[in-house]
Amino acid sequence: MENIILEEENGIAKICINRPKALNALNTQTLKELGEVISEISERKDIHAVIITGSGQKSFVAGADITEMKNKTAIQGREMAILAQKVFSNIENMPQVVIAAVNGYALGGGCELSMACDIRLASSNAKFGQPEVSLGIIPGFAGTQRLPRLVGKGIAKELIFSTDKIDAQEAYRIGLVNKVYEQDELMQQAVSLAKKIMKNGIYAVSLAKSSINNGLNMDTESAYAFEADLFGLCFSTEDQTEGMTAFVEKRKSSFKGC
């Protein structure tokens, strides 16, 4: 791959967007490669958590590649949107937990990429923003949908309409990021969170993710029914037997992820 570095370690896949010359901006090639890596990892039973980050110390992803996008026709714009929507939805719906380690600028499509992840950890130098309307477009990788769901309608509208860039502390205050760390600690903290999550029944974590993601798109009654179905499904797993038996036997559980 030209623009993606994939590393694997103890059941954790680290995906690094690697176009430092353009502050890791997403061009079509990078989106395609990201899509391929995501599809491959989604199928892997030996990978239980994914961390997405950007290369270097300045930028997570500085948005879609403006130089490439500038001369697109309407049809090409539509093709790019279809590709990106598919990649971002696939990230959101991966069976594994996905952590964004936001190590610098997360602007436009970069902020949207982080929002497609389950959890966002940011370095103290990170900057978030949706500058699209300053370019004469609107956020098109579901930023108008995911941002208000994370921070509320009023703050999302202010950020999108004003194009203000906010720092990591402000992103933390409004609930856009879960935690803020110094840059040199960020990856280690992301790995440590992934490991903490992986100590639990990983199949249950995956079902909880599905229940949250899908339930939020349903009416309340349907969401409760969906949760009840997934709750029931847990009782078909060895992890449920092990987790409850370990509690009763006053010992630590030893999950197998099945």
Q: Which residues contact 194 (CB under 8 A, 6 or more apart)?
A: 12, 48, 49, 51, 97, 99
Interacting residues with ligand DAK (CB under 6 A)? 22-23, 25, 62-67, 69, 77, 80-81, 84, 105, 107-109, 131-132, 135, 140-141
* 12-17 vs 4-9, strand pairing mode: antiparallel
Least distance (Å) from ligand DAK to the CB of residue 144? 10
Least distance (Å) from ligand DAK to the CB of residue 126? 12
Q: Is 132 a catalytic residue?
A: yes
- Given the complex with ligand DAK, which of 71 and 220 has the nearer CB atom? 71
Q: Is 36 a catalytic residue?
A: no
How far from the centroid of its chain's Cα atoms is residue 33's Cα? 16
Contact 4, 17 (CB under 8 A): yes
- Given the complex with ligand DAK, which of 47 and 116 has the nearer CB atom? 116
Marked catalytic residue, from 112, 158, 182, 242:
112
- Given the complex with ligand DAK, which of 67 and 254 has the nearer CB atom? 67
- Given the complex with ligand DAK, which of 61 and 193 has the nearer CB atom? 61
Marked catalytic residue, from 132, 182, 227, 242:
132
Question: Residues 219-233, buried b or exposed e (16+ Cβ, 10 A)?
Answer: eeeebeebbeebeee
Helices (H), the chain: 28-42, 66-69, 74-92, 109-116, 143-151, 153-162, 168-173, 186-198, 202-215, 220-234, 238-248
Query: Can you tell me the distance from the alpha carbon of 113 to that of 107, in angstroms, rounded to the nearest whole number?
Result: 9
Contact 118, 211 (CB under 8 A): no
Least distance (Å) from ligand DAK to the CB of residue 100? 15
Least distance (Å) from ligand DAK to the CB of residue 247? 47
Contact 117, 134 (CB under 8 A): no
- Given the complex with ligand DAK, which of 129 and 201 has the nearer CB atom? 129
Least distance (Å) from ligand DAK to the CB of residue 145? 12
Which residues are annotated as catalytic? 112, 132
